[in-house]
Every structure is written in structure tokens, then in C-alpha cells.
């Protein structure tokens, strides 16, 4: 069943659908959702968009060097990647760990797309390898360190959108009128909760707040399941609320407008790093731009006069020469060790 048919069914039954559910169906519907569609290539040079680990293994080196700086003299570790996609980041991290004689106790990939799960079977040669859809299924001894890493994972989670009007947060929903789709606003039972969670005085009438209960639940499960962790993630996002919609729809490397098309469209939001950090309280967290992160953890690529190819890669990843990845993208870490 196509994405549009599923959405129309929900609209027929309930007359409205939240932005969060619209995005979750579009991205993850069993057969037709963007991440489950059978295509030759989804992410990468020939896909709909490209990500840092697909551009260069410099990225994986930086992630591992940061981990080793914070975890000196470790001899063994469990690896957990969230949303690995094609698995390039794990591939690069495995190579680096093996070259440093650090024992991999287990490798777990948390991936809910059936399309990518098939591709990830290539890691079957690793001892204690598993692909899970749900972090709650992960098992380990509580005193063993788990290195949890991801890239562009949280931006794919559906977010709810709210509009401030007369001191109330109204939820933005999607409706269908005379065969065309439109945005509408409704009273929300979550308004008081949002006012207490987000300082309402920061918002003016007409401002938009994006909130993802799905990310809150995911992180709660992660913290309940894994006792001793070092967590790092790179994504695009903010600390100051943008107060407008950050929802993006991408098809074949081009931004398209909401409702232009329904099939084979990747939807994503900017990540709220302030909330991510609050989710990890009382543990210590850090946030730096992807550009500073790369300069710090793979300095030799920035210090040397390098080949044209390396120069291009480093400019894209770090945001030099106007590429957006280095500045809009951030590196977030949290650890309880
Ligand atoms: C934008 S892609 C990034 C893929 C890869 N990390 C990269 O950088 O190339 C997002 C990935 O996260 C996965 N994903 C999103 N939400 C998920 C969830 N709640 N549980 C497991 N996997 C999820 C998607 O299926 C997809 O593989």
C-alpha cells in the first residue's frame, strides 16, 4: 500500500493526522515508507542524500579517537550503533579498534528498516553480532562498557509541531479538504506539559515549537537498558529554538515542498540538542560543531597540505567553503563513567 493511501486511510478515519505520525508513516511504513522501499541505493552518491560516513572514513576515525581520548587504556568494549544505514561508520570503527588490539565483546546494530537490515548481514563474521529493532532487547553485563554511536539518527524521528497562540500551545495537524492537503491547528492536552518543560516566555504568538516524545521514550529505554555507556552522536540541530518548522522533505537530493509528493520522500527535523542534553541528566554532556570536532580528533587531515580529493572531503565534512555540514552539524556526547 502506498504512503499516500495509508495517510488517506488515517485521514478518513480521524479527519486529521499529527505531523509526527505523517512523518513516521512516510519514513517507515512497512513496504512503501522511504526507509523500507526496495531501491538500489538510498543513501550515498547514487541515493537521495549523502551522509558523513559515506563521504569518508575520516569521520569514523574522529568518532573513535574521541572515544579513546575519554576512555584511555580500555582493552575491551561492546559496540552499539543506532541507525547504521549501510553500515559504513561501524565498518570504519571496527577497522580502527582491531588495529589497536581492542577486543570487541559484541556488535549490535539498532536498525528498524528491513531494507538496511539485509545490507547489514555483511557483519555476520563478527562474534556476538546482532541486529535489533529495539534497544530494550540489548543484553550485557552491567559493569561492561558500551560504546553507543550514531550519525543522522535522531533527525529521522517524527516530531510533533505546536503553535503558540494566546499563551496556549495548539498542535499543528494535517487535514484533507476537497482533495488537497493542508495544515490546521487544534487544542492540545499537552499544552500545559509543554509550558512547564519549555520556558513559555521564550516563545511569542505565532512561534512554532517542535517536540519529539519518540526521542524522549527512546532515550529513557536506552538509559534503563545500558548501565555503563559512552554515547556520541552527530546530527544537524540547534540549542537556540528556531521557533519555526525545521521539517525537510528530500527526494533525489532536492528539497521539495510538503505534500508535493508522497512516495520515496525522506523527511527529517533538526535535533533539539538542549532537550537531548536534558534527557541525559544527571550525566555529563558536551556539544561542539562538527567542524571543531573534526579539527580536534583528526587534526592531521587539517594540518597537512593534502591532495585535492582529501581537501574536498574535509571541506564538505567541516563546513569550509560554504558547505552546511560543518556548522549546522554538531557532535554531542554523554557519558556516565
Ligand atoms: C539518515 S539515516 C543515517 C544512516 C547512517 N547512520 C549514515 O549516517 O549514513 C537514518 C537511519 O536510522 C534508522 N532509524 C531511524 N529511526 C530509527 C529507530 N527508531 N530505530 C532504529 N533505526 C532507526 C533508519 O532506518 C536509517 O538507517
Average pLDDT score over residue span 293-299: 90
Give the distance (Å) from ligand 1 centre to CA of residue 308: 31
Residue 111 Cβ contacting ligand 1 at under 6 Å: yes
pLDDT at 321 over 90: no
CATH placement of domain 59-156+270-335: 3.40.50
Whether the model clears a pTM of 0.75, i.e. scores above it, the answer is yes
Mutate to test the pocket of ligand 1, among 43, 80, 85 (most ligand atoms within 8 A of CB): 85
Task: Convert the pLDDT of each residue in 129-156 to its tens digit.
Answer: 999 999 999 998 889 999 999 999 999 9
Write down the pLDDT at residue 91.
97
Q: How many CA atoms lie within 13 A of 173 on its CB side?
A: 17
Only one residue has cell 565498518, namely 91
Average pLDDT score over residue span 224-234: 96
pLDDT at 217 over 80: yes
Average pLDDT score over residue span 298-318: 70
**Torsion on CA atoms 214, 215, 220, 221, rounded to nearest 10:** 70
Give the distance (Å) from ligand 1 centre to CA of residue 84: 6
CA distances from 298 to 89, 98, 112, 211 (A): 15, 18, 31, 34
For 117, the grid coordinates are 537490515
pLDDT at 323 over 90: no
Write down the pLDDT at residue 337.
77
Peptide bond into 282 cis (omega under 30): yes
CB 325 within 8 A of CB 290: yes
For 104, the grid coordinates are 570487541
Only one residue has cell 513559555, namely 200
Residue 85 Cβ contacting ligand 1 at under 6 Å: yes
For 270, the grid coordinates are 533538526
Beta-ladder partners of 255: 250
Mean per-residue pLDDT over the chain, rounded: 91
Give the distance (Å) from ligand 1 centre to CA of residue 115: 11
The residues of the chain that CATH labels 3.40.50 are 59-156+270-335
CA distances from 302 to 197, 291, 294, 327, 330 (A): 41, 11, 9, 16, 18
Atom of ligand 1 nearest to the CA of 28: 25
Residue 151 Cβ contacting ligand 1 at under 6 Å: yes
Distance CA 317, CA 268 (A): 19
Amino acid at each position: 500500500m502506498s504512503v499516500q493511501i495509508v495517510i488517506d486511510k488515517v485521514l478518513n478515519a480521524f479527519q486529521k493526522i499529527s505531523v509526527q505520525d505523517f512523518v513516521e508513516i512516510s519514513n517507515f511504513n512497512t513496504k512503501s515508507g522511504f526507509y523500507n522501499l526496495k531501491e538500489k541505493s538510498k543513501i550515498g552518491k547514487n541515493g537521495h542524500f549523502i551522509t558523513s560516513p559515506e563521504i569518508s572514513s575520516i569521520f569514523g576515525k574522529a568518532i573513535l579517537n574521541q572515544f579513546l581520548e575519554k576512555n584511555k587504556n580500555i582493552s575491551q568494549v561492546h559496540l552499539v550503533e543506532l541507525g547504521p544505514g549501510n553500515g559504513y561508520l561501524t565498518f570504519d570503527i571496527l577497522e580502527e579498534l582491531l588495529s589497536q588490539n581492542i577486543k570487541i565483546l559484541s556488535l549490535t546494530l539498532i536498525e528498524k528498516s528491513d531494507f538496511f537490515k539485509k545490507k547489514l548481514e555483511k557483519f555476520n563474521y563478527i562474534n556476538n553480532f546482532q541486529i535489533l529493532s529495539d534497544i530494550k532487547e540489548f543484553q550485557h553485563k552491567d559493569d561492561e562498557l558500551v560504546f553507543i554511536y550514531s550519525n543522522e539518527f535522531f533527525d529521522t524521528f517524527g516530531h510533533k509541531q505546536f503553535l503558540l497562540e494566546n499563551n496556549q500551545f495548539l498542535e499543528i495537524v494535517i487535514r484533507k479538504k476537497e482533495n488537497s492537503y493542508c495544515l490546521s491547528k487544534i487544542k492540545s492536552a499537552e499544552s500545559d506539559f509543554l509550558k512547564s518543560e519549555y520556558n513559555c516566555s521564550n516563545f511569542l504568538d505565532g512561534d512554532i515549537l517542535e517536540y519529539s516524545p519518540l526521542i524522549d521514550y527512546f532515550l529513557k529505554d536506552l538509559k534503563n537498558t545500558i548501565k555503563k555507556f559512552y554515547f556520541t552522536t552527530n546530527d544537524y540541530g540547534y540549542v537556540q529554538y528556531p521557533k519555526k518548522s525545521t521539517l525537510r522533505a528530500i527526494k533525489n537530493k532536492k528539497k521539495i515542498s510538503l505534500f508535493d509528493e508522497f512516495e520515496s520522500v525522506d523527511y527529517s527535523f533538526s535535533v533539539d540538542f538542549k532537550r537531548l542534553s536534558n534527557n541525559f541528566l544527571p550525566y555529563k554532556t558536551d556539544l561542539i560543531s562538527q567542524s571543531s570536532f573534526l579539527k580536534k580528533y583528526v587534526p592531521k587531515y587539517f594540518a597537512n597540505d593534502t591532495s585535492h580529493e582529501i581537501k574536498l572531503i574535509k571541506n564538505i565534512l567541516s563546513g569550509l567553503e560554504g558547505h552546511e555540514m560543518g556548522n549546522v552539524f554538531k557532535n554531542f556526547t554523554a557519558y556516565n563513567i
